[in-house]
């Protein structure tokens, strides 16, 4: 007998069960959707944690870069041409470093945007961050710095100065991570795989590097890309005179560090960093963040801030300086049109 003396046919029982399942489903779906919505609303990232993670990613990528160079297993290829017509190199060091760096960050924060110079087709690394924050960060960055995840863009360069890497010019090679919030560079990490040194800066919080005591902007030493030093030479001489010392170098990370107090004997020093052609944001974002954390500036050649959201390229050239009148430097530059580059 059914409860309350009601007898149900098999069809009635089936209908009753379906109605019950439907009610339970809708109740469950409502609870689940509200929880998902709540989770999405609360997805925040602690920038202090993200700085520590960025340092670990750069170091892990750097280990791969160093190991493959020392084993001489580069498997060098050409992935295309730069806008200046030079061959764009690709090595196993680039790819292995990318896997280590990209997946360490994505496995920790799967919901933040991560842009990398390389794209690995192989399965991802199962690496997980230990969540250990180095003492040097704890000592300089006070407390939790939470930001909604959707405001964050991470730029990684798994191997800066690949051309120099293939030539075994180790001093130019770096791995880099940059964290931008609303398009502004906030955290920058530049790691030197062959010395083990890691430079970092967190805008508004601190840095482990420092500017030099003084800079000469009357007759400055200008560091430029060795791949097109001839093109930039006339531009620099018009701005600062024929006696200006021009230092050709590889790697945007290395060039930014040249503006700071040197961290090793091989690091050259310069007063200004200039780039006159198209450059990718993963090449320059980390250096921009470190300079900003120290009161320096990196802008286009027209003095405009660089937006690190959206597309990967910066078409406006680059001028970087620290402890100088940056606007005065911009005014000394000759006319420049990006359409000609």
Q: Write out pLDDT tens, residues 157-190.
A: 999 999 999 999 999 999 999 999 999 999 999 9
Report whether 75 belongs to an annotated binding site. no
Question: What is the mean predicted confidence (pLDDT) over 3-28?
Answer: 49
94 with 119: CB under 8 angstroms? no
Q: What share of the chain is helix, strand, coil (3-state, %, to 5)?
A: 40, 25, 35
Query: Could you give the residue ranges of the DSSP H alpha helices within 242-280?
Result: 252-257
What pLDDT is recorded for position 2?
Answer: 46
Q: How confident is the model at residue 84 (pLDDT cuts 50, 70, 90)?
A: low
What pLDDT is recorded for position 127?
Answer: 82
20 pLDDT more than 90: no
Homologous superfamily (CATH) for 44-208? Fructose-1,6-Bisphosphatase, subunit A, domain 1 (3.30.540.10)
58 with 124: CB under 8 angstroms? no
Residue ranges covered by each domain of the chain: 44-208, 211-332
Report whether 283 belongs to an annotated binding site. yes
CATH fold label, 211-332: D-Maltodextrin-Binding Protein; domain 2 (3.40.190)
Beta bridge partners of 131: none
Least confident piece of the model among 14-23, 230-239, 250-259: 14-23
What pLDDT is recorded for position 122?
Answer: 52
Distance CA 296, CA 127 (A): 35
Distance CA 304, CA 282 (A): 18
- Take residue 153 and report the two structure tokens written for it: 């863009």
Give pTM, 2 decimals.
0.85
Q: Measuring CA to CA, which residue among 42, 40, 38, 41 is closest to residue 30?
A: 38
What pLDDT is recorded for position 11?
Answer: 58
Q: Measuring CA to CA, which residue among 251, 278, 264 is closest to residue 158?
A: 251
152-160 and 113-116 beta bridge pairing: parallel
Report whether 146 belongs to an annotated binding site. no
Least confident piece of the model among 35-44, 74-83, 200-209: 35-44
Report whether 159 belongs to an annotated binding site. yes
Report whether 157 belongs to an annotated binding site. yes
Q: Write out pLDDT tens, residues 298-328.
A: 999 999 999 999 899 999 999 999 999 999 9
297 pLDDT more than 70: yes
Helix (H, G, I), strand (E, B) or coil at 228: helix
Select, from the ranges 23-32, 139-148, 168-177, 263-272, the one with the highest average predicted confidence (pLDDT).
Answer: 168-177
Distance CA 108, CA 103 (A): 8
SS (H, E, C) 32-84: HHHHHHHHHHCCEEEHHHHHHHHHHHHHHHHHHHHHHHHHCCCCCEEEEECCC
DSSP code for 311: S
Q: How confident is the model at residue 88 (pLDDT cuts 50, 70, 90)?
A: confident
What pLDDT is recorded for position 42?
Answer: 59
Distance CA 181, CA 40 (A): 18
Question: What is the mean predicted confidence (pLDDT) over 5-9?
Answer: 55
Percent of the chain surpassing pLDDT 70: 82
Q: Measuring CA to CA, which residue among 222, 267, 268 is closest to residue 245?
A: 222
Q: How large is the greatest C-alpha to C-alpha distance in the chain, in angstroms?
A: 107
Mean of the per-residue pLDDT values for the chain?
87
Residue 101: alpha-carbon gap to chain centroid: 11
Question: What is the mean predicted confidence (pLDDT) over 122-141?
Answer: 85
Question: What is the mean predicted confidence (pLDDT) over 81-107?
Answer: 85
- Take residue 248 and report the two structure tokens written for it: 């050709």
18 pLDDT more than 50: no
24 pLDDT more than 80: no
Same fold, 44-208 and 211-332: no
- Take residue 160 and report the two structure tokens written for it: 């800066």
């Amino acid at each position: 007998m059914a409860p309350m003396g009601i007898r149900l046919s098999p069809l009635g029982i089936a209908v009753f069960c379906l109605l019950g399942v439907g009610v339970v489903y809708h109740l469950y779906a409502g609870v689940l959707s509200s929880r998902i919505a709540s989770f999405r609303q609360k997805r925040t990232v602690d920038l202090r944690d993200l700085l520590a993670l960025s340092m670990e990613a750069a170091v892990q990528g750097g280990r791969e870069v160093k190991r493959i160079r020392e084993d001489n297993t580069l498997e060098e290829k050409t992935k295309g041409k730069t806008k200046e017509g030079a061959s764009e190199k690709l090595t196993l060091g680039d790819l292995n470093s990318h896997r280590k760096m990209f997946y360490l960050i994505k496995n920790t924060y799967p919901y933040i945007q991560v842009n990398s110079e390389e794209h690995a087709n192989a399965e991802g690394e199962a690496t997980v961050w230990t969540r250990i924050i180095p003492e040097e960060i704890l000592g300089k960055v006070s407390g939790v710095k939470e930001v909604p995840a959707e405001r964050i863009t991470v730029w990684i360069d798994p191997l800066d100065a690949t051309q120099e890497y293939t030539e075994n010019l180790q001093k130019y090679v770096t791995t880099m991570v940059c964290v931008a919030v609303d398009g502004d560079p906030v955290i920058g990490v530049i790691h030197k795989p062959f010395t083990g040194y890691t430079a970092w800066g967190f805008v508004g919080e601190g840095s482990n590097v420092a500017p030099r005591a003084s800079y000469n902007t009357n007759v400055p030493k200008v560091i430029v890309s060795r791949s097109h030093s001839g093109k930039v030479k006339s531009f620099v001489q018009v701005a600062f005179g024929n006696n200006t010392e021009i230092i050709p170098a590889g790697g945007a990370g290395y060039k930014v560090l040249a503006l700071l107090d040197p961290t090793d004997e091989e690091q050259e020093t310069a007063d200004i960093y200039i780039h006159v052609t198209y450059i990718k944001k993963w090449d320059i974002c980390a250096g921009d963040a470190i300079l900003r954390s120290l009161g320096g500036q990196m802008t286009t050649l027209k003095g405009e801030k660089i937006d690190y959201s959206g597309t990967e390229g910066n078409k406006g050239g680059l001028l970087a300086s620290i402890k100088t009148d940056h606007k005065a430097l911009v005014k000394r530059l000759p006319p420049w049109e990006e359409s000609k580059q």
